[in-house]
Amino acid sequence: MMEILEQLSREQMRADLPDFRPGDTVEVHVRIVEGDKERVQVFKGVVIRKRGDLIGATFTVRKVSYGVGVERIFPLHSPNLEKVVVLTRGRVRQSRLYYLRQRSGKAARIKEKRAPGV
């Protein structure tokens, strides 16, 4: 029974999303339906958490908008995700970056991971 459920969830998983990790700065393009109109909204911020591995996987993105910290949790395999664009790769040593909530300004910056040979 569990094999059948796992097979069904694997069929619904998305393979078109890029590989990103906590610490990366990403742009998440979300499809929003308002009445009979549909538009795409962009949420740009730092990935502070990724959890789960199958169809229920989620990731949390944090940004500071007009001095207020905003966090949004996105289902990784949601059909409402138009695309995810990785802008910069961050160099962090933890998988949960909750300490960024207490930091502001320059203290909340994350070092950029350089590509080898550049």
- Sequence-distant (6+) residues with CB within 8 A of 35 are none
User: Which is nearest to 81 in space by CA: 41, 51, 45, 38?
Assistant: 41
pLDDT at residue number 74: 96
Q: In which band, very low, low, confident or very high, does the pLDDT at 46 lie, cut at 50, 70 and 90?
A: very high
- Residue 102 predicted with pLDDT over 80: yes
Who wins on pLDDT, 70 or 1?
70
Q: What backbone phi and psi angles, to 5 degrees, belong to 93?
A: -110, 0
C-alpha torsion angle, residues 47, 52, 55, 61 (rounded to 10): -10
Q: With contact defined as beta carbons under 8 Å apart, do 45 and 97 qualify?
A: no
pLDDT at residue number 118: 58
How far is Cα 107 from Cα 100, in angstroms, rounded to an integer?
8
Who wins on pLDDT, 3 or 99?
99
Q: What is the pLDDT of residues 71-91, one digit of tens each?
A: 999 999 999 999 999 999 999
What is the residue-averaged pLDDT of the chain?
Answer: 91
Domains assigned to the chain: 1-104 (2.30.30.790)
User: Which is nearest to 92 in space by CA: 58, 48, 51, 39?
Assistant: 48
pTM score of the predicted model: 0.86
- Residue 101 predicted with pLDDT over 80: yes
